[in-house]
Structure 1
Amino acid sequence: MSYLVLARKYRPRNFTEMVGQEHVVQALTNALVQQRLHHAYLFTGTRGVGKTTVSRILAKSLNCQGADGQGGITAEPCGVCQACRDIDAGRFVDYTELDAASNRGVDEVQSLLEQAVYKPVQGRFKVFMIDEVHMLTNTAFNAMLKTLEEPPEYLKFVLATTDPQKVPVTVLSRCLQFNLRPMAPETVFEHLTQVLAAEQLSAEPLALRLLARAARGSMRDALSLTDQAIAFGNGQLQEAGVRQMLGSVDRSHVLQLIRALTDGDGATVVNQVNALRLQGVSAAATLEDMAMLLQRMAVMQMVPGMAHDGEDPDAQGLADLASAMPAEETQLLYSLCLHGRTELGLAPDEYAALTMVLLRLLAFQPQAGTAEKKSPLTSPRAPLEATAAPSAAPVTASSAAPATAASPSATVTPPGH
């Protein structure tokens, strides 16, 4: 039997299994219970947040026949009737998925709409699901407008897109729009813990947190990365292996960089960047991790005790750095890390660019007690002012009399007048 990847094996099959989208689940559940069903739905959100999954669950809810074959529209599809099993397997004749990325022309849309005149064969409703609907051409959008506005009572449209700004407003006005949010890292971490417990695989919590952050809000990406980490670690998920797989920097290096910047130690900063070069760690990943830690430091500085995480072994070190670095320098370094990522591609060497980004803080950092000594503007000016001050008084004091004495000669009239 072929291996089924985790993203497909643990795809939610009902609304209770959905994670991170409670606002969408609640709205659809209430609509199904009250049978206040709209004829067109638009699901928006980034990749891997559950747009296609919600569409399939909605199709099962509309067509579920119940375990005894006597069921009706429900918010809790049974999952065992013929309709539910066929939709999960992708062979339900009354559920059609159209990928608009590869079928974006008017001919493909018209071919789909020609099926709208026929009543359902097996189910209660026909469901047309158009994925990446923003890829359709303007002519294709115009061709489906009338049917989308007044479809037959047995037809439901489900549209999904990652870029709703490209969908014409004439289409948006005909649909109920639901925005699926990116998953929070903590939500992804909890779900990965449950999945690995079901798979009977051991994993270090810090390794799962790395995967949850690397997924960037996409549960599908998180499960795909977990599959890759399992293969990389030969069935075990350890922090060191996951860091090596992701190419992420060790947290200790980032903390040492921030500590060196706090102490104004430029030599340590350069040495740490050279160490990252030898390890092959991405400069962009270094700046990203620094920005994340600096954000937590800023919260600790402004709201003490709020950002403390007892499960994070580096929490105490961050708290010490937050108390040592001034708040304005934390904000400045955070901005430098964010904007510095755009400079990496412009520099001939990304590690040289990383060094310049970090040393920029030391260049802008005020040196307490030595600012007057080190300033190139005030140091040359001081001796000039010291010598100019005593000479100014005698000049003004002694020059007053000659000026008055010379004044008559200055007004001598020429002969003949």
Structure 2
Amino acid sequence: MSDSLLGLDEPPQPQRGEAYRVLARKYRPQTFSALIGQDAMVTTLGNAIRRDRLAHAFLLTGVRGVGKTSTARLIAKALNCIGPDGQGGPTIDPCGVCEPCRAIAEGRHIDVIEMDAASHTGVDDVREIIEASRYAAVSARYKIYIIDEVHMLSKNAFNALLKTLEEPPGHVKFLFATTEVNKVPVTVLSRCQRFDLRRIPAELLAEHFAKVCEAEQVEAEPEALALVARAAEGSARDGLSILDQAIAHAGLEGEGVKAEAVRQMLGLSDRGANRALFGTLVEGQAQQALAGLRAQYDLGVDPLAVLRALLETVHGVTLVKLGTHRLSGQSTEEREAMEGWASRLSFPALHRLWQLLLRGHDEVAKAALPIEATEMALLRVIHAAQLPDPGDLAKQILSGSIAVPSGAPTGVAAAPTAPAPATVQETGPVLPTNLTELAEHLEEHRRLQLAMFVRDYMRPVRFEGSEIDFGAARPLPQDFVRELGGALKDSTGVHWKISLVDGATAMTLREEQAARQAAEREAVLASPIVAAAIAAFPDAELIGWTKTGSDG
């Protein structure tokens, strides 16, 4: 048999290189000093270790990617580090070179047990922990149990853990991590020392990503890193995943990570185009605004991303008007444009603009035709730009520059003949002015039970603007006032002051309706034709009627 058939003459195969590790794993913090944005927690832990005041259970909570599991592993290192010489004790600065530190970092230490509660939810899984915790650590100072997403444990599993958690053996420490601390029973929370890991500020994330790019020998524009940091929403892991994608997106030409490429990759609207679109909204230019929106849509930008960018612009202008610090990733041109808008737009106008765009965002998120819904939302904003400001109108009426037409009710003025200034203005929501309108308003917003209580039980005392005083014809539910106020705030955007008072004598809407029907019945009975019929037929009853005129 020839060598070729046996494969002996095949060329040597290249050795397989080390598998690529994503940035989120490669740059996982290995020391507390590398844990960004959590200085308060690190200080507390350091003081506890130095004073030998270590809790037996720690609960780490926070949004995804802020370092909960990494922190748990660092705590395990800190408690079990023995130093390079093997003589050290617990320290906030683990050496990273001793056998316990290296074994924990590599996930192979026999006394540091990690468990994912999402796949081990039952009481049997917890029972194994309870049984094993009775035995001393094999080689470490402490036996440590790290339970990730602990809120996923079942109720029975939590109950089984309580006794051991309250009085664990001295050699055992529990480290819990969760993104939904509200789902952890209070009985467990009360037995743990809790640390709330904060969202990492975008500025710190951008600095961290710059160091990562330097270590990876990748060029990156500061604006690109700022975009990545903002998209990460306070999560280091999310940001590193996006940065990994951006580096791959940059290709092999050595161009580096560009802001425009990151913007396209994330589906973000171009900031220059967004500023131009915002300017057309402020100026009330409908055709230009719709053309600008369609131009971004044709480039593949999601309509929701356009509205989010406009909301961010309104927020940024408001901050500039308040004189706060510069936002991350903001160019000089953008800053100058925002300063210009801040000098022209009042706070009421900005608040109104925010409400209109936020309402449009919610509508577009549920719309069957997103781009069309976005166009209608922008047209609504532009329509608001053409309306006069109520506050300015009131001042002009008081000063006499606008005349109130004869015969008009008090407080009602004709619209000014001069064209309205092209700026976004505050118009205010239309509020109910009496109980009838209040009940109809609640019915329109599907709050039928509240509308029934308004019609049947509320006796009006005072109804002025967003303030209501009323009496009750019958006992109302304890939380009626709170629910009514919350429903009205949700539907009108205005805070309502609602008070239940004593001594109200006015009729409820239901009583008014009954009185009105009784009066109409009496009027019908008093009419000559019906009176003659009843006189001729004494046993006759009036069981229904249709009112056709003033005399019934």
- Shorter-normalised TM range: 0.7 to 0.9
- Residue deviations 1:97-131, cap 9 Å, x none? 11001110111111122110110001000000111
CA–CA distance in structure 2, aligned partners of residues 135 and 99 of structure 1: 9
Match of 2:29 in 1: 12
The Cα shift of 1:383 comes to: 11
Partner deviation per Cα, 1:39-91 (whole Å, 9 max, x = no partner)? 00000001000000110000001111110111111111000000000000000
SS of the residue 1:344 aligns to: helix
The CA deviation at 1:342 is: 1.7
Equivalence for 1:399: none
Deviations 1:145-189 (CA, angstroms, capped at 9, x unpaired): 000000000000011110011100000000011100111111111
AA of the residue aligned to 1:220: R
Match in the other structure for 2:136: 119
Offset at residue 285 of structure 1 (A): 1.3
Distance across 2 between alignment mates of 1:245 and 1:151: 50
CA contact (8 A) 1:46 1:162 kept: yes
- Aligned with 1:312 (options 309, 324, 331): 331
CA distance in 2, matches of 1:97, 1:212: 30
8 Å Cα contact 1:229/1:245 also seen in 2:
yes
- How far, CA to CA, are the matches of 1:19 and 1:284 in structure 2? 31
Once the two structures are TM-superposed, the CA of residue 382 in structure 1 deviates from its matched residue by 7.0
User: Distance in 2 between the 1:73 and 1:308 partners?
Assistant: 41
Matches of residues 56-135 of structure 1 in structure 2 within 5 Å?
56-135=73-152
Partner in structure 2 of residue 412 of structure 1:
none
- Report if aligned partners of 1:297, 1:318 keep a CA contact under 8 Å in 2: yes
The answer on whether the counterparts of 1:182 and 1:217 sit within 8 Å (CA) in structure 2 is yes
Matched AA of 2:238: D
Match for 2:190 among 173, 189, 194?
173
TM-score (norm 1): 0.86
| Aligned residue among 262, 270, 290 for 2:282 | 262
Q: 1:69 to 1:309 in 2, by over 3 A?
A: closer
Output the amino acid matched with 2:192. Answer: C
Cα distance in structure 2, aligned partners of 1:127 and 1:308: 42
- Report the CA distance between 1:281 and its aligned residue: 0.1
- Counterpart of 2:172, as a letter, is L
* Structure 1 range deviating more: 156-165 or 231-240: 231-240
Give the match for residue 68 of structure 2: 51
Q: CA deviation at 1:345?
A: 3.0
Tell me the CA shift for residue 365 of structure 1: 2.9
1:218 and 1:305 mapped to 2: Cα distance? 24
1:291 Cα offset (Å): 1.4
**What does the per-residue CA deviation read over 1:175-219, in whole Å, with 9 as the maximum and x for residues that have no partner?**
011100111111111111111112121001111111001101100
Bigger shift: 235-244 or 149-158? 235-244
**Partners in 2 of 1:177 and 1:306 — Cα distance?**
32
Q: Find 1:214's aligned residue among 231, 236, 242.
A: 231
Structure 1 contact 229–237 (Cα < 8 Å) conserved: yes
Specify which of 154, 170, 183 is matched with residue 137 of structure 1.
154
Q: Which has the higher contact order (CA 8 A, sep 6+)?
A: 1
**Distance across 2 between alignment mates of 1:17 and 1:310:** 23
1:279-310 CA-partner distances (Å, limit 9, x unpaired):
11011111112111211111222x24754789
The yes-or-no answer on 1:292 pairing with 2:312 is yes
Secondary structure of 2:366's partner? coil
Kindly indicate whether the alpha-carbon contact (under 8 Å) linking 1:248 and 1:281 is maintained by their aligned counterparts in 2: yes
Distance in 2 between the 1:199 and 1:349 partners? 43
Which of residues 153, 158, 161 is equivalent to 2:175? 158
- What secondary structure does 1:66 align onto? coil
In the alignment, the residues of structure 2 paired with residue 143 and residue 3 of structure 1 have an alpha-carbon distance, to the nearest angstrom, of 41
Displacement after TM superposition at 1:2 (Å): 0.9
Equivalent residues in 2 for 1:21-60, closer than 5 Å: 21-60=38-77
Letter paired with 1:58: I
The structure-2 alpha-carbon separation of the partners of 1:237 and 1:174, relative to structure 1 and needing over 3 Å to count, comes to: same
Instruction: Give the Cα separation in 1 of the matches to 2:212 and 2:290.
Output: 42
Of Structure 1 and Structure 2, the greater helix share is in 1
Q: Aligned pair 1:356/2:376, yes or no? A: yes
Question: In the superposition, relative to structure 1, how do residues 98 and 183 fare at CA in structure 2: closer, same or farther (>3 Å)?
Answer: same
Distance 1:281 1:308, change over 3 A: closer
Q: How many angstroms apart in 2 are the aligned matches of 1:334 and 1:11?
A: 38
| Counterpart mapping for 1:178-193 below 5 A | 178-193=195-210
CA distance in 1, matches of 2:154, 2:30: 32
Distance (Å, rounded) in 1 between the aligned partners of 2:150 and 2:182:
11
Letter in 2 for 1:193: A
**Cα RMSD for the two superposed structures:** 2.1
Q: Bigger CA drift: 124-133 or 304-313? A: 304-313
Select between 167-176 and 345-354 the one with higher mean Cα deviation: 345-354
Give SS of 1:127's match: strand
TM-score (norm 2): 0.65
Instruction: Return closer, same or farther for 1:309/1:318 CA change in 2, 3 Å cut-off.
Output: farther
Larger deviation: 350-359 or 320-329? Answer: 320-329
C-alpha separation in 2, matches of 1:5 and 1:330: 43
Structure 1 residue 384: Cα displacement: 9.5
- Contact 1:332–1:361 (CA under 8 A) maintained in structure 2: no
CA distance in 2, matches of 1:311, 1:347: 32
Contact 2:222 2:329 in 1 (8 A): no
Q: Distance in 2 between matches of 1:138 and 1:220?
A: 30
The 2-side partners of 1:2 and 1:205 are apart by: 29
Match status 1:147 vs 2:167: no
Task: Tell me the SS of whatever aligns to 2:55.
Answer: coil
Tell me the residue number matched to 2:349: 329
Query: What is the number of residues matched between the two proteins?
Result: 375
- For the 8 Å contact 1:97–1:130, the answer to whether it is kept is yes
Distance in 1 between the 2:365 and 2:278 partners?
23
SS of 1:345's equivalent in the other structure is: helix
**1:328 to partner: Cα distance:** 2.1
Output the CA distance in 1 between the equivalents of 2:165 and 2:323.
53
Structure 1 unaligned spans of 5+:
373-380, 386-417
Matches within 5 A, 1:217-296: 217-234=234-251, 236-296=256-316
Preserved CA contact (<8 Å) 1:262 1:324: no
